[in-house]
Structure 1
Amino acid sequence: MQCKLVDVFSKQKLQGNGLAIFHDCQGLSKRQMQAWTREMRQFESIFVDTNVTPYRAWIFTMEEELDFAGHPLIGLSYYLHQQFGTPSDTHTWSIELNHKVVELTSRWRGKHFLAAMHQGAPELINTLSAKQSEPFYAALGIEQLQPQDLPVQVISTGLPYLILPIEHGLSKVSFSTNKLESMLEQYQAKFLYLIDVNNFEGRTWDNLGSVEDIATGSAAGPVAAYLYQQGLTTEPHISIQQGRFVDRPSEIKVELTCDGKDIVNIVVSGYVTHVGDFTLSD
């Protein structure tokens, strides 16, 4: 079985978010996909079948299958461009996931490979009151950093995130709960994303707080929508920094298409760097 390793949201190896792409995986069950993801120890892995149209992909973390994720799809573009595209052209790819089809574009920009993912319009699922928001700040040990004038919201472009704003203090986080998943479920959120609204830098974790994600493409669209709709930026082009606290600096770029005050489409993009190719024993 063939596997390609890339780093996503970085122009350099050993930065950004690592990804294992399994592109020779016909006949694997989902249980086997989960096992191979755990074997590779990446935050997420993606499995793709290019013998069907549109191409079919499955995304796994080390704990579970996801219906949607950002950096695996951005990274997958590298393999598709290398395998089926031409270096000098821009290509578009349609990827079928469990519940939606995602459009990707890819091209080389000089020596660097750039890929983009079309996320569509954001969905505002919930807006929490200040009192409802307090337990989430407490769960991260940052009760004193809860802003008075910025709401906590649940926004989705495929995966619902609870957007938790702060004005400073990303380094002060200290997890103090093992019940975050059930807390999030109350508001129809899957994960929490902490965003410094002054520097546009974020952090997110698994729901036990044991693993910090390096660069979260599925959260970038909801976060950018939040920043724009709360008046924290008037620019349709937004850059989000992530990964500093795990020594894997990453940059996620987001482009908003707006009709008046409404966001009608979100495009998340980033650079992808090739790390290596592997042959795995069956």
Structure 2
Amino acid sequence: MKCKLVDVFAKERLSGNGLTIFYDYDWLSAQEMLSLTQEMRQFESIFISKKINSSSVRARIFTVEEELDFAGHPIIGLAAHLHDEHGTRNSHDWNIELNKKSVHVKTEVTEKYFKASMDQGRPKFLKTLNSDETEKVLHALNLHKGNLSNHPLEVITTGLPYLIVPISNGLENAKISIANFESLLESFHAKFVYVFDINQFEGRTWDNDGSVEDIATGSAAGPTAAYLHKHKLCIPDKSITISQGRFVGRPSEIEAYVQTQDDDITNIWVSGSVIKVADISFI
């Protein structure tokens, strides 16, 4: 079976967030896709059907623990792969069919890498945490009230619900420090956490047992951009650059753009560069 290794949110090889794209998943079971993802030991892998209809393709996304209905860097990386394999022009539009939603992605090619821009649609603001809930989250993340900005913790989704934790300092100390963190998130209707320094525009997130830190999280960039817009922490209708990955030695940049009409968010675009690293053949 053939697959491709790319680096997402990167302009140079061996930087950014690595992604394995597996071709022709149609004959694989969900357990086999999970096992292949575990073999590659990346935060996520993406599997695509061999049935590519014009500019549309069906895809499934797995972490080392489970299948996800949506994720950012796999879609960005897949769109670049589609342009590399099937593109005939400098720019293209692609439709990625996931389990529960369809994602529109635009791609363009440069001399060294591809750039992909994913439309995450309108955000949904699911919950604002109260003071007691905030205190529980801070304790779980090895943070304290002195690290917080003057803004609330909120759960926001553009496909995956993230608990946004806005801080003004102490990002280097953030970590998941309790055993039942996933249950805590579920009590707020969140899937993952994103700790975000509102001064440096830098974020961190992990798998829910805290053992693996993600390098660059496109699915968190949309909710974060929505949060920044809501609390007037960014300039409307201007690109936002979010940094991530510094603490794991893979500094990455994610570009987000909040599109508005009469100050109402109509779409959030998340963009990144993608560079091809290797072609792989499984025996």
* The two structures share one fold, judged by TM-score above 0.5: yes
Superposed structure 1 runs of 4+ greater than 6 Å apart: none
Q: CA RMSD in A?
A: 1.2
Alpha carbons of 1:148 and 1:72: their partners in 2 closer, same or farther (altered >3 Å)? closer
Alpha carbons of 1:41 and 1:115: their partners in 2 closer, same or farther (altered >3 Å)? same
The answer (yes or no) to whether the contact 1:3–1:24 under 8 Å persists in 2 is no
Question: SS state of the match for residue 20, structure 1?
Answer: strand
Segment drifting more, 251-260 vs 227-236? 227-236
Segment drifting more, 203-212 vs 256-265? 256-265
Aligned match of 1:83: 85
Pair 1:254 & 2:256 matched: yes
Question: SS state of the match for residue 63, structure 1?
Answer: coil
Take 1:31 and 1:186, find their aligned partners in 2: how far apart are those partners?
Answer: 28
Segment drifting more, 127-136 vs 177-186? 127-136
Question: SS state of the match for residue 223, structure 2?
Answer: helix
Take 1:19 and 1:148, find their aligned partners in 2: how far apart are those partners?
Answer: 33
Task: Provide TM-score, normalisation by structure 2.
Answer: 0.96
Take 1:28 and 1:176, find their aligned partners in 2: how far apart are those partners?
Answer: 36
**Contiguous gaps of at least 5 residues in structure 2:** none
Question: SS state of the match for residue 62, structure 1?
Answer: coil
The answer (yes or no) to whether the contact 2:11–2:112 under 8 Å persists in 1 is no
Alpha-carbon deviation of 1:260? 2.1
Alpha-carbon deviation of 1:155? 0.3
Segment drifting more, 24-33 vs 201-210? 24-33
Percent sequence identity over matched residues?
Answer: 52
Aligned match of 1:239: 241
Alpha-carbon deviation of 1:187? 1.1
Alpha-carbon deviation of 1:149? 2.4
- The residue type equivalent to 2:15 in the other structure is Q
Take 1:5 and 1:259, find their aligned partners in 2: how far apart are those partners?
Answer: 38
Per-residue Cα deviation, 1:216-270 (whole angstroms, up to 9, x for no partner): 0000000011011111112431000000000001000001111122111001000
**Contiguous gaps of at least 5 residues in structure 1:** none
Take 1:275 and 1:52, find their aligned partners in 2: how far apart are those partners?
Answer: 23
The answer (yes or no) to whether the contact 2:147–2:170 under 8 Å persists in 1 is no
Alpha-carbon deviation of 1:172? 1.3
The answer (yes or no) to whether the contact 1:162–1:191 under 8 Å persists in 2 is yes
Alpha-carbon deviation of 1:79? 1.4
Counting matched residue pairs gives: 280
Correspondences of 1:99-248 after superposition (within 5 Å):
99-147=100-148, 149-235=150-236, 236-248=238-250
The answer (yes or no) to whether the contact 1:134–1:146 under 8 Å persists in 2 is no
Segment drifting more, 183-192 vs 20-29? 20-29
- The residue type equivalent to 1:254 in the other structure is A
Aligned match of 1:34: 34
Question: SS state of the match for residue 274, structure 1?
Answer: strand
Alpha-carbon deviation of 1:52? 4.8
Per-residue Cα deviation, 1:92-144 (whole angstroms, up to 9, x for no partner): 11111000011111111343210111100100000111221111111111114
